[in-house]
Amino acid sequence: MGTLETMKDIFNNPNKIIEEWKKDGKKVVGHRCMYVPEEIIHAAGMLPYPTFGTPEPIKKADSYFQPCACEFVRNLFDLALDKKFGFLDSMVLCNTCDAVRHLYNMWDTYVDSVPCYMVNNPQKMYDESGFKFYRMELEKFKKLMEDLSGNKITDESLKKSIELYDETRRLLKELNDLRKRDIPAISGSEFLRTSMASMLMPKENANPLLRKLIDEVKNREIKNADGPRILLTGSIIDNPTLIELVEDMGGVVVVDDLCTSAKYFWYTTKPNNDPMDAIVRFNLERTLCACAHPSEDRYDYLQGLIREFNIDGIIYFNIKYCHPFVYESAIFRKKLEEEVPTLTLEVDHSLSGLGQLKTRVQAFIEML
Amino acid sequence: MGTLETMKDIFNNPNKIIEEWKKDGKKVVGHRCMYVPEEIIHAAGMLPYPTFGTPEPIKKADSYFQPCACEFVRNLFDLALDKKFGFLDSMVLCNTCDAVRHLYNMWDTYVDSVPCYMVNNPQKMYDESGFKFYRMELEKFKKLMEDLSGNKITDESLKKSIELYDETRRLLKELNDLRKRDIPAISGSEFLRTSMASMLMPKENANPLLRKLIDEVKNREIKNADGPRILLTGSIIDNPTLIELVEDMGGVVVVDDLCTSAKYFWYTTKPNNDPMDAIVRFNLERTLCACAHPSEDRYDYLQGLIREFNIDGIIYFNIKYCHPFVYESAIFRKKLEEEVPTLTLEVDHSLSGLGQLKTRVQAFIEML
């Protein structure tokens, strides 16, 4: 089995990772989203596990949340009520959007099986007062992780964890760079599976696999690379189906600015003797998510992607109803359209209504 | 004209306040919402002006925001695009919800007539790190207000402003207490108009009027007070029509937990020699809004209202689509219904669909 297949297998069966990890009695800490510092969890000897959703329709959660609430959050809550996250020793959320703040209240009230904690990151970026606030919040989080694991987190262990995670980010970016070519070395759906598998795995295992994969694909050229070059952006996509749909319609997805892909690995930490400060600055010196404020920097970053990856068209996927991206897409679409044709699509997280989507994507790609 | 009528007149014609204030060349600073510290604006010699919406349908803003975006925010943006806030020297927003954070981006990009500033309050309450962060943010805001007004804000002037605003809050609460009686002294719609007029007016004028009003109504009994006693809660209601609707259907609205009413005046600042610290603690020691985290304290406060005002039924109004309250109402309804019958209604800010609402409110009140 080639490494691309291995990655696909890990993506399809993440429970194997958990079983393997827990064999030695080690703990697993679930989290949502990328502003939760995984390095602190890892430095305490635990596995940080990004919780994704499933494409199944929501059952129990719909008697708690209203239908206009974010479907991804309802999906997570559904899985929690169904005890599908029973393997977690704790869940960690962070202050991103209205939905996640309230998911915390719901989880804390109704999900007895897994305790939930909230890291209170500021939403304002690049700001001395925010740095100080976040530092204090992370010190509390560090203490909590030490108590949960029974392991002390030293500056040394934290530095090692940061280096390990930075290496994953560097490798994913190196792999992603192979998509800049006229004929990319890896397709959009292959890349998303690889990226998500790397996020789910212990980084000790992910890094050698990624190195091997880069070697395996670097002289490769994907098929059907003569269509328009597409940038995918928007709220979370934790399922390659949407990307496959774009590829089936003839689009060449050359970069996915998603929190399951580029947003995760785009930046690495800056050299810093104080590892906690390194994490603070890493998270507050990048406006990657529409939940962060202000949005100018995220717009500049998207413009950079358009140039670097030679983009012909942008598809902006909004999960119903992810408000930060709904709001952002409105202002960004107006600006982006001045440079590159942009299609904004509202999608169900459960991927119902794919037929209609297909028609709109097809029309867009034919137009390019 | 009785004072109740005077208040109604002020509520209906707030432009008179502005004209009067600006006569001497003094500045007006618009703001949304109650976490913007009005006292700092006032201490700089400017009028803090809470911007409310209008019941008219949205025009221009709907080509910028999607229809599932908060209608109140779209309404404000519409008014701003239409230069209806042209009388403001500056607009101030604060970090409450996804909608307002993005309103800042939109305003900053598309509204040239009025500059916009954002106060970055933390959403986590009761927390030392939050206190420190907010203090730093408020120092920046104070400097900005000094620069805008050309007036230095001293500890003394700030203390005086706090005392003035606390007096407004105490007086509104005293008036509100007259609704605890078996037969309230003031109806729900009368109270909302009075409360909103007091919010709009310079407090130097509001306080004597409120004192006079309390004297005038304290021996009064409203008509039709034999219906069930209703607590109104939910997202912003800046129009007495919804309250009148409940009253017309026979409900006796004895307390409105709205940011145009009880949320505005429920607490006063605590004695503190450092006025900036007083403001920090005032805003971060009360979880009054669904945007604040965690929600436990707000739930306790609602329970207190149920007991204090002897509530028979709760009506929870959600403006479409105010996400913090949509999420909160889901969890709160489940809890509240164990104590008091609760009706959750989704309403248009522009008040279309009143007929349908009427039917649901009528059925609820008959059931009580």
A294 to B108: CB separation less than 8 angstroms, yes or no: yes
Kindly identify which residue of chain B lies nearest to residue A131, measuring between CA atoms.
Answer: B133
Question: Cβ A327–B102 below 8 Å, yes or no?
Answer: yes
Range of the domain at B145: 10-154
Give the integer Cα–Cα distance in Å for A38 and B32.
Answer: 36
Partner-chain residue, chosen from B120, B295, B334, that has the shortest CB–CB distance to A122 = B120
Is residue B20 domain-shared with residue B134, that is, in the same domain?
Answer: yes
- Select the residue of B64, B108, B331 nearest A330 (Cβ to Cβ): B64
Q: Are strands B28-32 and B47-50 parallel, antiparallel or unpaired?
A: parallel
- State whether A81 and A20 are in the same domain: yes
B106 chain-A contacts, CB cut-off 8 A:
327, 330-331
B62: nearest CA partner in chain A: A330
Residues B127 and B188 in one domain: no
Residue in A with minimal Cα distance to B96: A98
* CB contact (8 A) between residue B98 and residue A137: no
User: Are A134 and A195 found together in one domain?
Assistant: no
For residue B280, count other CB atoms closer than 10 A to its CB: 24
Residue A1: per-residue pLDDT: 75
Q: Which residue of A has its CA nearest to B333?
A: A64
Q: What is the CATH number of the domain that holds A38?
A: 3.40.50.11890
Do A150 and A165 lie in one domain? The reply is no
| Cβ-nearest to B323 among A99, A120, A130 | A99
Q: Are residues A143 and A191 in the same domain?
A: no
One domain, residues B274 and B207: yes
- The phi, psi pair for B315, rounded to 5°, reads -115, 125
Q: For residue A93, give how far its alpha carbon lies from the nearest alpha carbon of chain B (Å).
A: 13
Number of domains in chain B: 2
Does A290 reside within a domain? yes
- Whether residue B63 lies inside any domain: the answer is yes
Residue ranges of the alpha helices (H) in chain B?
3-12, 15-22, 38-43, 71-81, 98-110, 128-149, 155-177, 188-200, 203-217, 241-248, 262-265, 275-284, 296-308, 323-336, 354-367
Interface pTM (ipTM) of the complex? 0.90
Q: What are the b/e assignments for B174-186, b being 16+ CB within 10 Å? A: ebbbbbeeeebbb
* CA-based nearest residue in chain B for residue A120: B124
Contact A323 B323 (CB under 8 A): yes
A123 Cα to chain B: minimum distance (Å) = 8
CATH number for B260: 3.40.50.11900
Report d(CA B364, CA B316) in Å as an integer.
12
Q: Are residues B164 and B271 in the same domain?
A: yes
Rounded Cα distance between A116 and A93, Å, is 7
Say how many Å lie between the first and final Cα of chain A, rounded: 37
* Nearest residue to B257 via CA among B335, B316, B297: B316
Distance to chain B for A275, nearest Cα, Å: 19
Residue A91: its H or E element: strand A90-94
Residue B65 with chain A: CB contacts under 8 Å: 327, 330
Residues lower than pLDDT 70 in chain B: none
Q: CB–CB of B293 and A98 under 8 A?
A: no
CA neighbor of A11 nearest in space, from A183, A204, A239: A239
The answer to whether residue B3 is domain-embedded is no
> How many Å apart are CA A40 and CA A188, to the nearest integer?
31
Residues A226 and A360 in one domain: yes
Distance CA B139, CA B150 (A): 16
Tell me the whole-structure pTM to 2 decimals. Answer: 0.94
Q: Is residue B268 part of a domain?
A: yes
Task: Please answer yes or no on whether A106 and B321 come within 8 Å at the CB atom.
Answer: no
Q: In angstroms, what separates the C-alpha of B100 from chain A's closest C-alpha? A: 10
Chain A: closest CA distance from residue B198 (Å): 30
pLDDT tens digits, one per residue of A62-80: 989 888 899 999 999 999 9
B contacts of A68 (beta carbons < 8 Å) = 68, 320-321, 326
Count other Cβ atoms within 10 Å, centred on residue B308: 13
Residue A56, C-beta contacts closer than 8 angstroms, at least 6 positions apart? A350
Tell me which amino acid residue A259 is: C
Cβ within 8 Å, pair B69-A291: no
Nearest to A133 among B69, B133, B295 (CB): B133
List per-residue pLDDT tens for chain A, 368 residues long: 799 999 999 999 999 999 999 998 999 999 999 999 999 999 999 999 999 999 989 999 998 988 889 999 999 999 999 999 999 999 999 999 999 999 999 999 999 999 999 999 999 999 999 999 999 999 999 999 999 999 999 999 999 999 999 999 999 999 999 999 999 999 999 999 999 999 999 999 999 999 999 999 999 999 999 999 999 999 999 999 999 999 999 999 999 999 999 999 999 999 999 999 999 999 999 988 999 999 989 999 999 999 999 999 999 999 999 999 999 998 898 899 999 999 999 999 988 888 999 999 999 999 99
CA nearest neighbour of B195 among B119, B273, B251, B258? B258
Inter-chain contacts counted by CB atoms under 8 A, chains A and B:
150
Angle at A188 between CA A187 and CA A191, to 5 degrees: 85
Residue B5 lies in a domain: no
Task: Check residue A352 and give its pLDDT.
Answer: 84
> pLDDT tens digits, residue range A91-150?
999 999 999 999 999 999 999 999 999 999 999 999 999 999 999 999 999 999 999 999
Cβ-nearest to A133 among B132, B321, B329 = B132
DSSP string, B213-237: HHHHHTT---SS--S-EEEEEES--
Task: Give yes or no: residues A160 and A115 share one domain.
Answer: no
Tell me which residue has tokens 């204030």: B21
Closest approach of B282 to chain A, Cα-based (Å): 19
Same-domain pairing of A167 and A287: yes
C-beta atoms of B102 and A295 within 8 A: yes
Residues A313 and A190 in one domain: yes
A5 domain-assigned: no
Q: Closest CB to A295: pick one of B99, B105, B294.
A: B105
CA distance B120 to chain A (A): 7
Q: Rounded to whole angstroms, how far apart are CA atoms B124 and B131?
A: 10
pLDDT for position A345? 93
In a domain, B333, yes or no: yes
Listing DSSP states for A128-141 in one string gives HHHHHHHHHHHHHH
Of A66, A128, A323, the CB nearest to B99: A323
Residue B54 in any domain: the answer is: yes
Nearest residue, CB atoms, B324 vs list A98, A136, A320: A98
Mutate to test the interface with A, among B58, B64, B66, B334 (most CBs of A within 10 A): B66
Average pLDDT value over all residues in chain B:
95
